[in-house]
Amino acid sequence: MGIFKKRQPGGAESPDPHLTFFSISTANHFRALTRQVFAELGYEVTVYPDHAVDGTGRKFGFWNIAATCSPQPEPAWRSLISVHLQQRLRSFDAPSPFDTVPAADIPGHTFARLYDESSIPGLGNHPYREFAPGVVEMLALDLPESVAVFRHENARTFGGWEALRKQGMANLAGLKTELLEKVTSPENASFNILMGSSFYTASRALLLPGLATELTGKQVREDFGWLMSIPSRHQLMFHVIEDDSVLAALNNMAILTARGYSDSPGQISPYVYWWNGTGYDQLTHAGEDRRMRVRIEPGFQRVLEAVTAQKPAER
């Protein structure tokens, strides 16, 4: 799995503002092709820049299937889009998995999972907690062909938020590490990227800082904390703060996080966060020109002053 591939089909043409891994003309071709596939399946839809809506008001987002199509040759797109839409249509028409999966099987298929807060319609209908600014932790029922998010009534039926979350965290901890890559910048600052095909790779951020120690052997100083980003469901980045290399690590993480968010299915957040001892502070922010900038608040400034004053640790 490549880390971050910035694709702009169509040569030097500007990227499409809604499907950023396509050029504008290629994105328009993708939308037209998707409309055609809907018609072949018997559905008339209204196409918008990042989604389509059918006659009953059902919404079909483009981002994930567009990200799947992007690295593939265009002749393969029609088949990929057709398979994706048929899966989505089946999920709309299928009975709720909470009514069909045996109760005894629910715990083994339950995962704590991180989502972009803005991507969840009717968020108040679900049990959740804020994990970081713009990111929420929810409960997901993982099935072979779909993922269902627990609603309040589902959680009550199967043991409540606390019991389900405990099981969901245990299931996260049981996942295998698919690929861990250490990235070292020209300034000799390093951070780690955990990648995998699992829909729950990024959600392993819930296991920090223990996960960082398990994977790298580094002990986390609670007074310094760590940097973390989750550009998509398949990527988790982290840097354990030890010395003044943190600024270079932050700058490089900011670049790769924004690229990963723009290039990947299952977007979560384009920002880098810092653990302040009780929760996450957002360190990077998008300007009006869409470029990422670092904003240093007093708490993180104190950490920078502390690591700058000490003798650099062995790297």
Q: Give per-residue pLDDT as tens, 110-146.
A: 999 999 998 888 899 999 999 999 999 999 999 887 7
CA distance 190 to 179: 16
Angle between helices 77-93 and 24-40 (to 10 degrees): 50
CA distance 29 to 91: 26
- The answer to whether residues 127 and 154 touch, using CB atoms and an 8 Å cutoff, is no
Instruction: Give the tens place of pLDDT for each residue, 58-91.
Output: 889 898 899 889 889 999 999 999 999 988 888 7
The reported pTM is 0.81
Q: Where do runs of H (alpha helix) occur along 94-241? A: 97-100, 152-157, 161-173, 210-216
Phi/psi zone of residue 102: left (φ > 0), alpha (ψ -120 to 50 degrees), beta? beta
- Position 225 scores a pLDDT of 97
Q: For all residues of the chain together, what is the average pLDDT?
A: 90
Instruction: Give the tens place of pLDDT for each residue, 28-42.
Output: 999 999 999 998 988
**Confidence category of residue 314, pLDDT binned at 50, 70, 90:** very low
Q: Of 143, 145, 136, nearest to 165 (Cα)?
A: 136
CA distance 172 to 114: 11
In angstroms, the Cα distances linking 39 to 34, 36, 51, 64, 228 are: 9, 5, 15, 20, 43
What CA dihedral angle connects 312, 216, 224 and 252, to 10 degrees?
A: 80
Give the position of tokens 């057709």.
Answer: 82
**Where do the domains of the chain lie?**
24-93, 97-173, 179-309
